[in-house]
Amino acid sequence: MTNSFTKEKIKWSSLFSFLLILFLAGCSEHVRTDIDTTNSGTIHISVDESFKPVIDSQIQVFEAIYPKAKIIADYKPEAECFKDLMKDSTRMIIVTRGLSENEEKYYKDTFGFNMRYDKLANDAIAVIVNNDDPDSLLTMEKIRGILSGTTADKELAVFDGLTETSAIRFAIDSILKGQPFDAKKVFAENGSLGVIKYVEEHKNVLGFVGVSWIGNPEDTTQLSFLKRVKIAAIKCNKCEDDAYVKPYQANIELRRYPMVRGLYYILKENYSGLGSGFVNFMQYERGQLIFKRAYLWPAKMNFMVRPATLN
């Protein structure tokens, strides 16, 4: 009888242990080591094409630090990035805005959890002109007139697309205030590289690209671009003097430059996976310094703008 009792006790003890393991596993819904971790695994992200140079740098450094991690970035127009959020294969997008209240509710209803999003850096739209164009000083009024066709200026405007890019959305929302383009004045090339190439080869054209493509004089590729085109200076409407400013870091931070926008992540992840690890990397010191070296203005670290006098 004692032996039977012992066997029964062992049976119930084993059953209890098994149920305890199942319970603990159920409570550990935020740990998905079977798929990826914060520093290992493979994920796909979709990125606004205008951020390609700086996000390439972020991924290169992150993967060098965490060799078991692989982040596959697909660069495309901003609207296409938002469409990718509905795909199971896309873990995160990097774009120029966060989510509206309606979008937050829609995604929560769709996926059953809140999407995380936040600003990582401040960026700007740079205007480039041909090296042989005599005038590289512009006002927002002149830019608005060229885009809307309400001015007699002969310049044209070229963008990295006509319907779904972040530069086009910025131009319609922030420059034209919802008014339409003049189809005779505005046209598109294939991506930011296409815009740079077209402006290099044609005079009297304003090219609109993200400053990530053209604003870093320490990058050898961008330095070659700066030899092929000029960055226009735009009149600062909030400055006391009649200053014309370029999209340099201090002008972005102080909003002296008129065409500033944000760089945001939107993360579709309800556990601590590789998407969270990459976001944390970009939010903290190393990632923020990469944005700074790319001549964007970091949004998460405090950098000071100090006045200087040139002799």
What digits encode the pLDDT tens for the residues 137-184? 999 999 999 999 998 788 899 999 887 899 999 999 999 999 999 999
CATH of the domain at 228: 3.40.190.10
Q: Sign of torsion, CA 197 200 204 206?
A: positive
CB 155 within 8 A of CB 204: yes
Instruction: Indicate whether 93 belongs to any domain.
Output: yes
How many domains, in total, are found in the chain? 2
Looking at the structure, tell me whether residues 97 and 138 fall in a common domain. no
Beta strands in the chain (DSSP E): 41-48, 69-76, 90-95, 116-130, 137-138, 156-159, 186-188, 205-210, 229-231, 233-235, 244-245, 260-267, 297-298
pTM, two decimal places: 0.84
Give me the domain span that covers residue 150. 124-260
Q: What is the DSSP letter of 132?
A: T
- Give alpha helix (H) positions in 28-100: 52-65, 78-84
Instruction: Indicate whether 28 belongs to any domain.
Output: no
Q: What is the DSSP letter of 100?
A: -
Looking at the structure, tell me whether residues 232 and 156 fall in a common domain. yes
**Cβ count within 10 A of residue 145:** 17
* pLDDT reported for residue 242: 82
Q: What are phi and psi of 106, to 5 degrees?
A: -60, -45
119 closest CA partner among 238, 253, 247, 263: 263
Which residues in the chain come in under a pLDDT of 70?
1-34, 303-311
Looking at the structure, tell me whether residues 200 and 100 fall in a common domain. no
Which tokens in the block code for residue 308? 């200087």
Looking at the structure, tell me whether residues 107 and 163 fall in a common domain. no
* pLDDT reported for residue 253: 94
Looking at the structure, tell me whether residues 220 and 137 fall in a common domain. yes
Looking at the structure, tell me whether residues 237 and 281 fall in a common domain. no
Instruction: Indicate whether 67 belongs to any domain.
Output: yes
Looking at the structure, tell me whether residues 153 and 243 fall in a common domain. yes
Looking at the structure, tell me whether residues 149 and 138 fall in a common domain. yes
Beta strands in 49-133 (DSSP E): 69-76, 90-95, 116-130
* pLDDT reported for residue 11: 55
* pLDDT reported for residue 249: 93
* pLDDT reported for residue 15: 53
* pLDDT reported for residue 284: 95
Q: pLDDT of 105-143, one tens digit each? A: 999 999 999 999 999 999 999 999 999 998 899 999 999
Looking at the structure, tell me whether residues 97 and 130 fall in a common domain. no
